[in-house]
Structure 1
Amino acid sequence: MPIVILLLLIAATALAAFLWLRAPDLPAAELEARFQSPQDHWLDLGDGLRVHYRDEGPADAPVLVLLHGYGDAYSTWEGWAAALRAGHRVISLDLPGHGLTAAPAGTQIDREAQARLVLRLAEALKLPRFVLAGNSMGGGVAWQAALLAPQALRGLVLVDAAGWPMPATTPSLAFRILAHPWGRVLLERIDNRPLIRQALRAQVGDPALITDEVVDRWALYQRYPGHRPILMSVAPGAQAPVTAERLAGLQLPTLVLHGELDPILPLEHSRRFAAAIAGAELIVYPGIGHLPQREIPARSAADVAAFVARLTAVP
């Protein structure tokens, strides 16, 4: 077969695949109506930033604020909320570019900017000192917020948290595509369900936990207006890594949780957090991957509840 014909066939196949997978944004009102509950709220912080959060549990109970990872949403914490809301006020929010939070065009994923947003939300809601927990990217935002305003926090929970230099390899095909400018252009315009399914199933100890409903929800949140350009702004390794010296000054009770099988962020990262933060406690979950809050919600939430109980027992 002449090379020209072969190239034309490849180009035609690629175009057909793109047209088949092409998926425009969905109306914000449609997605909000589909997923919202009586516990869902939005806070307008101005300049096109309208933050979605879910607020559950007694208003006068110890407060937990929960931050999701890259591409995820508040819904990653539903298992924790179900286990904790009887005795805690549980606030799970969507960072810009995620879930049901509206953000202005040009917003980029930036750890310090996200941390400042979390602190603004806490101030606007007039929260008392709270425990801040984050998974993956959200863990990186959590420790950054702790460094910026330790006086606002009662404690810190890092769940397979980002912050140290990323490993050179990743099991996620989506992250490998993100490394190329053409890949970002493509991912901004298509239905990413196949890539989401592959990435999530590679991240957890039991792939059966990643159901079609989980994948569909992730994919629909990405189609909230303006989200995909924000998601494409991420540059793995571009955020300045944390250092033991920066963490050494953090005088804040800290619980570090990590799935032993995490293929995204190795256990050594959480060991380094626990070693750098004075008095930090490390709990490792055998057989669990990158998302303990999804994989073993009851068990990991119980560890957090015990941690919060120890904090509230101190006058």
Structure 2
Amino acid sequence: MIKGLGILVLAVFAIVLVGWLALLRPDIGYDRLEAKYADAASRYIDLPGGVHMRYRDQGQAGGHVLVLVHGFSASAQDWDDWARILSPRYRIITLDLPGHGLTRAPARWPANTDSYADLVAQATDRLGVKSFVLAGNSMGGGVAWDFALRHPDRLQGLVLVDAAGWAPPKSQQGGAVIFQILRNPVGRAILRDIDTKPLIAQGLKSAFVDEKLVTPALVDRYSDFARAPGHRAILMALQTGDRREASYAVLAAIKAPTLVMHGRDDHLIPFANGEAFARAIPGATLIAYPGVGHVPMEQIPDRSAADLDAWLRTKVWP
């Protein structure tokens, strides 16, 4: 009986090992990624710490400047619709943070909201942009309000789109499966080297609400960018690194005109967090979107861009 049990354990181990090996996915080189995803607007700058950043600088060269920062595991492409709609009126700068998109960085680059905020300051300095309106979605929203605290003299306005930052209550459960796994160190170790496309697809469906918008091409883009050299290490490190948490005392120091945009049906960052940002930041304006999830700029680009444009022309650049 003991011998039979040992054979069974070995058989199960062999099956798991074969399954693991079948799911392993190697890095995708930047040459291949750039050939597939770079476009005519893509540009690159070298920044401190070995960062080779991809950015886009579109729209009106002499116009008011909007800098747009993407969320976790996303990229500059998330802002394509806003850039298209708003570029006739504004200068639009989108960028890929280290660990994301086509930006190259060492695998041990110290990624957190503070370092990302400082990198946005360095990148805009290099581009000759001294002051601007900064918008961020999700993790990028956390970078944006952190920037407002670290570099207040640079900011003409702040836009938080389903922004991260408030600590979730200990009792909070649910959300995208991939984020539940990433909260666990064993889960992070397992996900680091395997094919995560099914989990990415589930996470995107949670974010968009309208599942028709989650196309195979969108899932491929997220999956491909995550497999760029060094990216998986940075993405995993983001789950455990230091981060500044939002609080009423912290956010009260923000003086820039602020617009909070939040989907009422966001399954990743609840609408209550958007309401909290609007209450905590003096004079902030809140726009709620019923039936909309985590990425209003992609789910309802025309309506959300029009709302942003109206706010900018009323509160920032009348």
TM-score range, shorter chain: over 0.9
Matched residues in 1 for 2:242 and 2:173: separation?
Answer: 15
Could you list the runs of 5+ residues in structure 2 that have no partner in the other structure? Answer: none
1:298 corresponds in structure 2 to 302
**Maintained 8 Å contact 2:113/2:244:** no
State the AA in 2 paired with 1:269.
N
Q: Which deviations, in whole Å up to 9, do the C-alpha atoms of 1:51-100 show, x marking residues without a partner?
A: 11111111111111111111111111111111111111111111110001
- Report the identity percentage: 44
1:233 corresponds in structure 2 to 237
Could you list the runs of 5+ residues in structure 1 that have no partner in the other structure? Answer: none
Secondary structure in structure 1 of the residue aligned to 2:225? helix
The total of aligned residue pairs comes to 314
**Maintained 8 Å contact 1:166/1:237:** no
Matched residues in 2 for 1:306 and 1:75: separation?
Answer: 23
Greater Cα offset, 6-15 or 80-89: 6-15
Greater Cα offset, 24-33 or 232-241: 232-241
The correspondence of residues 90-105 of structure 1 with structure 2, limited to 5 A, is 90-105=92-107
2:226 corresponds in structure 1 to 222
2:277 corresponds in structure 1 to 273
Residue 128 of structure 1 and its aligned partner are, at CA, apart by 3.9
TM-score (norm 2): 0.94
Q: Which deviations, in whole Å up to 9, do the C-alpha atoms of 1:9-55 show, x marking residues without a partner?
A: 43233222222221111111221122111211111014321111111
Q: 1:312 to 1:270 in 2, by over 3 A?
A: closer
2:119 to 91, 94, 117: 117
1:174 corresponds in structure 2 to 178
Q: Which deviations, in whole Å up to 9, do the C-alpha atoms of 1:83-120 show, x marking residues without a partner?
A: 11111111111111000111113123311111000011
Greater Cα offset, 185-194 or 48-57: 185-194
TM-score (norm 1): 0.95
Matched residues in 2 for 1:18 and 1:91: separation?
Answer: 41
State the AA in 1 paired with 2:70.
H
Residue 251 of structure 1 and its aligned partner are, at CA, apart by 1.3
**Maintained 8 Å contact 2:257/2:316:** no
Secondary structure in structure 2 of the residue aligned to 1:175? helix
Q: Which deviations, in whole Å up to 9, do the C-alpha atoms of 1:125-182 show, x marking residues without a partner?
A: 1114211000010000000001111111110000000111024323222122223333
2:259 corresponds in structure 1 to 255
RMSD (Å) for aligned C-alpha atoms: 1.7
Q: 1:97 to 1:242 in 2, by over 3 A?
A: same
Greater Cα offset, 44-53 or 12-21: 12-21
Matched residues in 2 for 1:3 and 1:195: separation?
Answer: 33
Matched residues in 1 for 2:236 and 2:278: separation?
Answer: 31
Matched residues in 1 for 2:209 and 2:118: separation?
Answer: 33
2:53 corresponds in structure 1 to 51
Q: 1:26 to 1:286 in 2, by over 3 A?
A: same
Matched residues in 2 for 1:235 and 1:104: separation?
Answer: 17
2:83 corresponds in structure 1 to 81
